Amino acid sequence: MAAASLAWSAAALIDKIRKRHPRIHCLTNGVAQAFTANALLALGAQPSMTNSVEEVEAFVEGADALLVNLGTLDEPGRQAMRLAIGVANRRGIPWVLDPVFVERSSGRSTFAHELIAHGPKVIRGNEVEIAHLSQGQAIDGFARALGAIVAATGTTDRLVDGNRAIGIPNGHPLMGRVTAMGCANAALIAALLTVADDPFEGCAAAMLAAGVAGEIAAEHSSGPGTFASAYLDALHGLDSGKLATRARVI
């Protein structure tokens, strides 16, 4: 995909989000909840966040996509994720797995693999997390074996689905100095999946949007605190001109 067509596609998909206000249910950790909700709202989507075992199924029933972030894994949290994924798969709504810190505990790794067996549409992690999950396998082989899109974020965000691959080098180093930036990115992917006919195109749009918003935010901030606010402003203000001017593909 050339940079110009990626920018054009992303702008069109973001317009759809602003018109349809899709509902994204997010199972995520306490550190990331508020920023993730604000990123979704800034883009035009409607977040919900409840993670109680008693209610999660009803919320996913009414949602257009689901985000599952490993975040803080206690037993009720794991059970809520299983229930949510069950509803998503039964209803055919896409879900995104964000395997935060999967390399830090063996229980987390085991649980991540359990969830992956249930067929996420997208797995998004940083390079360390994706390398841990793929156990050294090449990322495109890993994606092909899973039948999922794999997004590995870093200096260049890489996106593969087994057949296609794209690298998006947009972004800014301050994105690594704000908590939940990656978690929010995964939520943006979930939002874009609700409006994209081609999930790969939806993922690429989300990653471009995040990267371009980061670049714009860096020009309107003086450190990681003002950057986080400016990033939400930039997501809210994205348009085809800004995306086309800045989009890069490698």
Of the pair 95, 231, the CB lying nearest a copy of itself is at 231
Pick the piece of the chain touching a copy of itself (CB under 8 A) from 114-122, 134-142, 214-222, 239-247: 214-222
Residue 168 tokens read as 């998006």
Residue 155 tokens read as 């200096």
Of the pair 42, 122, the CB lying nearest a copy of itself is at 42
Contact between 175 and 166 (Cβ < 8 Å): no
Counts for the chain of helices (H) and strands (E), in that order:
11, 8
Nearest to 44 by CA among 9, 20, 12: 20
Contacts of 128 (CB under 8 A, 6+ apart): 103
Q: Which amino acid is at 41?
A: L
Where residue 71 falls (left for φ over 0; alpha for ψ -120 to 50; beta otherwise) is: left
Contact between 166 and 159 (Cβ < 8 Å): yes
Of the pair 75, 197, the CB lying nearest a copy of itself is at 75
Of 6, 9, 24, 59, the one binding a copy of itself (CB under 8 A) is 59
Instruction: List binders of a copy of itself among 65-124 (CB under 8 A).
Output: 71-77, 101, 104-108
Of 1, 31, 128, 165, the one binding a copy of itself (CB under 8 A) is 31
Of 225, 239, 241, 245, the one binding a copy of itself (CB under 8 A) is 225
SS3 at position 214: helix
Of 233, 240, 246, 248, the one binding a copy of itself (CB under 8 A) is 233
Least distance from C-beta 40 to a copy of itself, angstroms? Answer: 8
Q: Is residue 29 near a copy of itself by the rule CB under 8 A?
A: yes
* Residues within the interface to a copy of itself (CB under 8 A): 29-35, 37-38, 41-42, 47-55, 58-59, 62, 71-77, 101, 104-108, 176-180, 220-226, 228-237
